[in-house]
Amino acid sequence: MNITAFSALLSVSIGLTGITSAIANNDKDDKFAYLPGDFHQHSLYTDGGRPFFELNRQNFNYGLDWWANSEHGGERNRDGVGHYWSDPKWYPDNPIQGDVEYSGSSGSCVDLDGGNRCQEMWRWQSLRDYVYPDIEIVRATFPDNTVISGLEWNVPGHEHCSTAIYQYNNTATAISEFEFRFDRSDDDTSRNGEPSLLNTPELGNVLSKTNDDEDDAILGVKWMQAMKDAGIGDAWVVPAHVERAWSYTIEDFRNWQDAGPDVVLGAEFAPGHQTSSDRGFGRTSLGGGTYGGTGFYAATVGGLWDGLLAEGRKFYNFVSSDYHWHWGDGGSDFWPGEYQKTYTYINTKAKDKIKAVFKGIRSGNSWNVQGDLIDSLEFTASSKGETAMMGQTLKVQKGKPVRIKIKVRDPETPNNCPFELNNPSLEQIGIKQPLNMPELDHIDVIAGSITGNVPETSFDANGRPDPDATDYGTNAQVIQTFYREYGKDKKGYLVFVMKIWPKEDMFIRLRGTNLPANVPYETDAAGNPLADSEANDNIYQLMETEAEGYNGLTNKLLNLHLMDDLRISTIDKLDDVLEAYADLWFYSNPIFIKVK
């Protein structure tokens, strides 16, 4: 990483006193607010563990203002409450269209030959004919919230991606066509030759299967962009848990965004499944798993995300729950909004609330947080009376001062952690802090030059992205760390101000955590997150008896807390819940600075 070159980029000065001027707004009537939401969740319609309507109620219960029903493509054998499509008790007339395909047997199902195999419905049909009407019911039930029609796209040549379409005529024919044509798990051929919603030279005017390889994935992105350009609806394409299958590279994100500049908006860099043993995905994933619950690509300063930002790309960092099964049911997930949230700057007075959410996501004026470590963030860059917020570009003259302001609130109320016991990770270094009342320890300000395309991905001997080749040629680095004790003001906020004098085009972003540097198995000497597998193995891997071998004093204390004090050792996910709440982070999206 070219840190020496970065020292010539800018000069920095720090002010530790708060300022009281209001944040710059897109509208003087103050119609905008940061609203929490979720891109990606599953119900009984696919492989989730709870009924569709219960899942949506939980979104509301955990304070989300917007969310997307984003479940797998392909085919499934049951509806949103768990009834089999081919169970004559619930569907006397078989409703399934398209090619016939079966899953396993069940006494409730009747197949076409009189057996008991369960016929599966293709997702293009359930999305259009069943899920969307259910979404309309949810919208009527929660009129102050925004519910969006989505699909977790099984991407040709890759793994998964959260997508959503807001079709302006209030139907779901567009997302149905997209799933049929471009989802690699959809084998149905029954709609081939059907008229398409679009007519373009590259995509044609009839439906066909385009779901085999990486080139087909790019065509799917182009279809989304063309659909938006045609005025049929709005869309987003946000790849999910991008390191898990070793299938996404910086070239993929670059190619996708070039193909769909208005729909490819970023990635879910912090995956769901945060109560799995290593948080989010296992240590066999690219980079060895998550780091502070965030994937390798974004948790590494100078990593892939910084590489994209160094290219000047408006490619943003989002999070989701990816809810399937709640940890209380023995699963690996929190409810949507229970643990991870994406906060997005949205016009609360907009006439079209759904369109306002899409516009907010596209703006990049978003930040994300785990465990309600913070519940408010204002991050701006100002110069000569002009102010830029996250996702925006501030134009300045070379060498002129830019004032960076950070205003953040650390909530004084408990988060959703069910335990009041002290944070086991912090107890290692003598800090007694309740898990359900975390305190923001510090904020890192990260900056880098915008230089154009960065080096290509390096591959190992097996043809997979090389996790040891992490240098994308950027000079991204932490340029300042603000500690909470220097930012307190009288209104419950932490306020920090600094000045920089940019000499080149640059980006600037934030991350913050409840952990100081040098917490064993959690952070390194520079305060960077360590692989979550280290904390899992050395702190949070429960052993039931001393004879089995406690893994250190802290683990012994953890066992005593869970086994003796709380008397709830029968739930085997408690150690994973504690691990998630012990190690909390927030990330802002960047502000771009253009030097004239």
Note the pLDDT tens digit of each residue in 507-553.
999 999 999 999 999 999 999 999 999 999 888 876 444 555 444 44
On the CB side of 182, CA atoms within 13 Å amount to: 27
Q: Please report the DSSP string for 2-33 in residue order.
A: -HHHHTTTEEEEEE-S---PPPP-SSTT--EE
Average the pLDDT over 469-498 and give the result: 89
CA dihedral 510, 515, 517, 523 (to 10 degrees): -90
Q: Which residues, in sequence order, are CB contacts of 132 under 8 Å at separation 6+?
A: 149, 171, 172
Average the pLDDT over 239-266 and give the result: 96
pLDDT at 504 over 90: yes
* pLDDT score of 8: 43
* pLDDT score of 560: 52
pLDDT at 168 over 80: yes
pLDDT at 10 over 60: no
Average the pLDDT over 240-252 and give the result: 95
pLDDT at 60 over 80: yes
H or E stretch covering 178 = helix 173-182
* pLDDT score of 329: 86
> What are the backbone angles phi and psi of residue 52, rounded to the nearest 5°?
-55, -45
What proportion of the chain, given as a percentage, has pLDDT over 90?
80
pLDDT at 47 over 80: yes
* pLDDT score of 458: 86
Question: Of residues 5 and 225, which shows the higher confidence score?
Answer: 225
Q: Tell me the C-alpha distance between 579 and 557, whole Å.
A: 14
* pLDDT score of 573: 76
Which CATH code of 3.40.50.2000, 3.40.50.2300, 3.20.20.140, 3.40.50.970 fits the domain covering 3-74+124-538+576-595? Answer: 3.20.20.140
Average the pLDDT over 243-271 and give the result: 96
The answer to whether the beta carbons of residues 297 and 288 sit under 8 Å apart is: no
* pLDDT score of 15: 43
The answer to which of 137-151, 399-413, 481-495, 557-571 has the lowest mean pLDDT is 557-571
Average the pLDDT over 345-353 and give the result: 96
* pLDDT score of 571: 52
Q: Tell me the C-alpha distance between 23 and 19, whole Å.
A: 10
Q: Tell me the C-alpha distance between 99 and 383, whole Å.
A: 61
Average the pLDDT over 397-414 and give the result: 96
* pLDDT score of 334: 96
pLDDT at 18 over 60: no
Across the chain, mean pLDDT equals 90
pLDDT at 19 over 50: no
pTM metric for this prediction = 0.93
* Each residue's pLDDT tens digit, 109-158: 999 888 999 999 999 999 999 999 999 999 999 999 999 999 999 999 99
Question: Of residues 107 and 3, which shows the higher confidence score?
Answer: 107
CA dihedral 133, 97, 118, 90 (to 10 degrees): 50
Question: Of residues 59 and 112, which shows the higher confidence score?
Answer: 59
* pLDDT score of 557: 53
* pLDDT score of 216: 98
Q: Where are the domains of the chain?
A: 3-74+124-538+576-595
Separation in Å, CA 212 to CA 183, 185, 332: 9, 10, 31
* Each residue's pLDDT tens digit, 314-337: 999 999 999 999 988 889 999 999
For residue 299, which of 25, 61, 524 has the smallest C-alpha distance? 524
